[in-house]
């Protein structure tokens, strides 16, 4: 663990911030006595992305539509013609 003074934080914060970005914890001292600790935030685990199943949704909304037929019935439905 690295150590920095309050003066270091005030005058050389980019250096201290780089230590933290690199994963190092930094103990802050005032008058030679430690009083705080700066540590990097643990990154949350990556979220699993679930892609929607558009074809299943289309089959649910338009059960009488064949996959190989024209999409005209869908367009008509959206326009309110159906």
Q: Is the pLDDT of residue 76 over 90?
A: no
**Is residue 46 domain-resident?**
no
How many angstroms separate the CA atoms of 16 and 45, rounded? 26
Residue 23 in any domain: the answer is: yes
By residue range, what is the domain housing residue 79?
52-82
Residue 64, in any domain of the structure? yes
pLDDT digits (tens, 9 = 90+) for 9-64: 999 999 999 999 999 999 999 999 999 999 999 887 788 888 888 878 888 888 87
Same domain flag for 56 and 34: no
45 in any annotated domain: no
Task: Determine the 3-state secondary structure of 5 from DSSP.
Answer: strand
- Indicate whether 57 and 33 sit together in one domain: no
């Amino acid at each position: 663990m690295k150590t920095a003074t309050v003066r270091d934080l005030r005058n050389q914060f980019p250096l201290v911030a780089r230590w933290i970005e690199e994963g190092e914890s930094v103990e802050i001292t005032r008058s030679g006595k430690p009083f705080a600790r700066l540590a990097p935030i643990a990154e949350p685990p990556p979220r699993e992305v679930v892609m929607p199943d558009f074809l299943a949704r289309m089959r649910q909304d338009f059960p009488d539509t064949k996959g190989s037929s024209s999409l005209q019935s869908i367009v008509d439905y959206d326009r309110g013609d159906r």
